[in-house]
Amino acid sequence: RKEVEQDPGPFNVPEGATVAFNCTYSNSASQSFFWYRQDCRKEPKLLMSVYSSGNEDGRFTAQLNRASQYISLLIRDSKLSDSATYLCVSSGAVNSGYALNFGKGTSLLVTP
Amino acid sequence: EAQVTQNPRYLITVTGKKLTVTCSQNMNHEYMSWYRQDPGLGLRQIYYSMNVEATDKGDVPEGYKVSRKEKRNFPLILESPSPNQTSLYFCASSLYVRQPQHFGDGTRLSIL
């Protein structure tokens, strides 16, 4: 079983819509969590870190639920430029050698 | 400018011909890592390094070698490349293991 699992989508949403992605992780010892954005054939770029208390950056809100071992990303007022693949990442578990674990990504297409 | 630099960006080569992909970062980061990305499989970690002279296997280390003789450089070596190593490769670095990673632009390798 993969350490981090995401719904691959694609999620097709109209401009202005609110969309939410969830991601589950299997290693309860994981310490750090992130959301990355990746455009086609480009390098992943950090979108935001995910904290236990939840955090918000403009239109983006990330939350962590340790009890249920899932991470969420909410995008409000979607823009065309939000079209990309969103990668969920867990890391820092001592019992997995501190390896970073990437989900396969969720594809988002925002349409006019 | 803070960056992770990979070279070459593109390479087409033949089975069995040793090659090295270089990776250099100018941010004084301790943690460096190599990934490969394949359609349907997402990003998979090949090797990582917690610091100079400290390297460890990721999920898919077979057929690869790395070294970390200096903090800034983390080359990926394919001693005898095979067609199943055709992939998009990313180098990444972070200050410490649990911090967000900065990715290089990627290296597209084709092994014929």
Partner-chain residue, chosen from A34, A44, A49, that has the shortest CB–CB distance to B103: A44
Which residue from A71, A68, A62 is spatially nearest to A23, judged by alpha carbons? A71
Instruction: Kindly report, residue by residue over B51-96, the tens digit of the pLDDT.
Output: 999 999 988 999 999 999 999 999 999 999 999 999 999 999 999 8
Which residue from A109, A90, A108 is spatially nearest to A100, judged by alpha carbons? A90
Q: What is the mean pLDDT of chain B?
A: 94
Which residue from B3, B10, B107, B4 is spatially nearest to B64, judged by alpha carbons? B107
Instruction: Kindly report, residue by residue over A70-91, the tens digit of the pLDDT.
Output: 999 999 999 999 999 999 999 8
User: What is the reported pLDDT for A96?
Assistant: 56
Partner-chain residue, chosen from A31, A43, A105, that has the shortest CB–CB distance to B42: A105
Q: Is 60 exceeded by the pLDDT of residue A95?
A: no
Residue A89, SS3 per DSSP: strand
CB A28, CB A101: distance < 8 Å: no
Q: Which two tokens stand for residue A30?
A: 């994981």
The residue among B6, B29, B59 with the most chain A CBs within 10 A of its CB, best to mutate, is: B59
Q: Which two tokens stand for residue A41?
A: 């054939």
Rounded Cα distance between B95 and B28, Å, is 7
CB B109, CB A48: distance < 8 Å: no
For chain A, say whether B100 makes contact (Cβ under 8 Å): yes
Residues of chain B neighbouring A92 (CB-CB closer than 8 A): 97-98
CB B77, CB B67: distance < 8 Å: yes
User: What is the reported pLDDT for A98?
Assistant: 64
DSSP class of residue B73 equals B
Q: Is 70 exceeded by the pLDDT of residue B35?
A: yes
| Nearest residue of B to residue A89, measured between CA atoms | B100
